[in-house]
Chain A
Amino acid sequence: MEQPTTAPNVPLKNRSLAALLALTWPGLGHVYQGRTAKGALYFLCIFGLYTVGFALGEGANVYWTWVNPLRNPEHFRLYYLGQFWVGLPAWPALIQATLIQQGFQPLFNGFMAAPMLDLAMDNGVREVMQDVVRRVFSLHQKYGGLKEIGDIYTTIAGLLNILAIYDAFEGPAVHQESTSASEVPSTPGGESS
């Protein structure tokens, strides 16, 4: 099978699989392609940013809710649309939201569960969710506006991983590149003498 490349030294292998791996964990797609150093850079930058942001919110700033954004915009978690793209580190929030939506008790004492209370909730679920809500509101008292910085860090980490996924699928955006300025052709498409 022919391996598509965008530059002579960038073997992309199975591009779809690489993109899927990059979506699953930042940098993993590049490691699969043999672009280990670049994978490490993406991992350090994206996962590092996500981890710092996650820690600033004590793990309570990455969550999802299955609500209609038009009917219930107050509880719709816009940040998660960005956070989702970090991959596995952010996906437990989907599981927790689904469990709560289906009326089951969230796992791990409500870790990454949305701080929402509903009258229709079962007593056991409500007990766990009250703890979650209390924890989230105490964050503001402890750290002030830093929780918002955690929201921003985790969201931007996810959005940056979209660039990494695209890089794994399509290769670097600049196809013909040279490392020194003198090697760049003087005219577009022209030949250097």
Chain B
Amino acid sequence: MSLPAVGFLIPLGLINAYWFAPPLILVISLVYAASRHEAWPLIFRHATRLFLMITGILALVTIILLVINTQV
């Protein structure tokens, strides 16, 4: 038994894999923040900070790799 293909809306193979990173980072940030705090304002504040930090680090590493790549 297989699940109905999810590619009927858009051809999934055409989506750049990078688009799957933000939802993953968001979920990781929310769950981690929720495991640290009980108050919702703190959870959201911590999750936002973590999301921005992870995304920023990933973007920075990507930029560095791109710069190195163009100079090789």
Which residues of A pack against B, CB within 8 Å?
Answer: 7, 9-10, 35, 37-38, 41-42, 45-46, 48-49, 52, 54-56, 58-60, 108-111, 135, 142-146, 149, 152-153, 156-157, 160, 163-164, 166-167, 171-174, 177-180
Please give the number of chain B residues whose Cβ is less than 8 angstroms from any Cβ of chain A in the complex: 28
A95 to B20 CA separation, bound complex (whole angstroms): 30
A76 to B58 CA separation, bound complex (whole angstroms): 30
Among B35-43, B49-57, B60-68, the stretch that binds chain A is B35-43
Assess whether A179 is in contact with B41, with CB atoms less than 8 Å apart. yes
Assess whether B31 is in contact with A163, with CB atoms less than 8 Å apart. yes
Assess whether A177 is in contact with B38, with CB atoms less than 8 Å apart. yes
Assess whether A146 is in contact with B15, with CB atoms less than 8 Å apart. yes
Whether a CB of chain A sits under 8 angstroms from the CB of B72 is: no
Q: How many contacts between A and B, using CB within 8 angstroms?
A: 99
Q: Which residues of B contact A109 (CB under 8 A)?
A: 1
A172 to B39 CA separation, bound complex (whole angstroms): 10
Q: Which residues of B contact A164 (CB under 8 A)?
A: 31, 34-35
Assess whether A146 is in contact with B17, with CB atoms less than 8 Å apart. yes
Assess whether A56 is in contact with B27, with CB atoms less than 8 Å apart. no
Assess whether B12 is in contact with A160, with CB atoms less than 8 Å apart. no
A163 to B15 CA separation, bound complex (whole angstroms): 30
Q: Which residues of B contact A48 (CB under 8 A)?
A: 27
A66 to B65 CA separation, bound complex (whole angstroms): 40
19 contacts between A and B (CB under 8 A): A41-B31, A42-B34, A48-B27, A56-B6, A58-B5, A143-B13, A146-B13, A149-B17, A156-B27, A160-B28, A163-B32, A171-B38, A172-B35, A172-B37, A172-B38, A177-B39, A178-B39, A179-B42, A180-B41
